[in-house]
């Protein structure tokens, strides 16, 4: 019994790790050991990244939501990713992470970049705009996918 409990604790610990790494807000798992012997685990944490990263296109409901629904990017506590320091999009456009389709990306997570180095490009009106790193540092997170549309102010990358 105690061995099993230890195993369960290790399992939950592992799940918590996954939760943190993937930045999911909730994981629910049922593990069956045999008949009438199962462990059900549900881990959740306060939403962080979800409201902080505004999608480029907000699909609104049929009627206006109450005023309180306004997203407050600064208000969301985000230990894993402080989006207030993120490099944000200076324009509306489409993000490309490499110079051409199939080419190596400009940067990967963990890369060291220098100030002014191109980290991605944004296409707006058929023009490719090179987006430069505002500081020297390490690429901690890339918050956009290749070919993703972005609006003004959309968080792109965290470079620390």
Partner 1 sequence: MFKKILIANRGEIALRVHRAAREMGIETVAIHSTADATAMHVRMADESVCVGPPSSTLSYLNQPAIITACEITGAEAVHPGYGFLSENAGFAQIVEEHGLAFIGPTADHIRIMGDKIAAKETMKRLGVPCVPGSEGGIGTVDDALRVARDIGYPVLVKAAAGGGGRGMKVAKTEKDLPHAFSQARAEAKAAFGNDEVYLEKYLTLPRHIEVQVIGDTHGNACHLGERDCSLQRRHQKVLEESPSPVIDAETRAKIGGVCADAIREMGYRGVGTIEFLYENGEFFFIEMNTRLQVEHPVTETVFGVDLVREQIRIAAGEKLSFTQESLVPKGHSIECRINAERIPSFAPCPGLVKGFHAPGGLGVRMDSALYAGYSVPPHYDSLIGKLIVAGTDRPDCLMRLRRALGELVVDGIDTTVPLFRALLDEPDILNGNYNIHWLENWLEKELG
Could you list the residues that contact partner 1 (CB under 8 A)? 54, 56-60, 63-65, 67, 69-71, 91-94, 124-125, 127, 149, 151-154
Looking at beta carbons only, is 73 or 105 nearer to partner 1? 73
- State the nearest-atom distance from the C-beta of 110 to partner 1, in Å: 30
Helix, strand, coil shares, percent, the chain, to 5: 20, 35, 45
Answer for the pair 64, 122: CB distance below 8 angstroms, yes or no: no
Looking at beta carbons only, is 71 or 116 nearer to partner 1? 71
Strands 137-142 vs 37-44: parallel, antiparallel or unpaired: unpaired
- State the nearest-atom distance from the C-beta of 81 to partner 1, in Å: 20
Answer for the pair 53, 83: CB distance below 8 angstroms, yes or no: yes
Q: What would the two tokens of residue 115 be?
A: 């100030």
- State the nearest-atom distance from the C-beta of 88 to partner 1, in Å: 10
Supply φ then ψ for residue 116, to 5 degrees.
90, -5
Looking at beta carbons only, is 15 or 124 nearer to partner 1? 124
- State the nearest-atom distance from the C-beta of 156 to partner 1, in Å: 14
Looking at beta carbons only, is 19 or 56 nearer to partner 1? 56
Q: What would the two tokens of residue 96 be?
A: 């490309």
């Amino acid at each position: 019994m105690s061995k099993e409990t230890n195993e369960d604790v290790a399992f939950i610990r592992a799940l918590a790790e996954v939760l943190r790494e993937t930045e999911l807000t909730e994981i629910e798992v049922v593990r069956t050991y045999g008949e009438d012997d199962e462990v059900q685990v549900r881990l959740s944490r306060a939403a962080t990244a979800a409201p902080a990263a505004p999608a480029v296109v907000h699909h609104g409901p049929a009627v206006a939501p109450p005023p309180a629904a306004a997203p407050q990017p600064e208000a969301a506590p985000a230990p894993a990713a402080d989006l207030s320091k993120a490099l944000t999009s200076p324009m509306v456009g489409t993000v490309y992470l490499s110079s051409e389709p199939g080419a190596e990306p400009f940067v990967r997570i963990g890369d060291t970049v220098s100030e002014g180095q191109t980290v991605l490009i944004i296409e707006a009106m058929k023009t490719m705009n090179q987006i430069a790193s505002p500081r020297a540092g390490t690429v901690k997170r890339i918050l956009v996918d290749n070919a993703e549309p972005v609006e003004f102010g959309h968080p792109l990358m965290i470079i620390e």
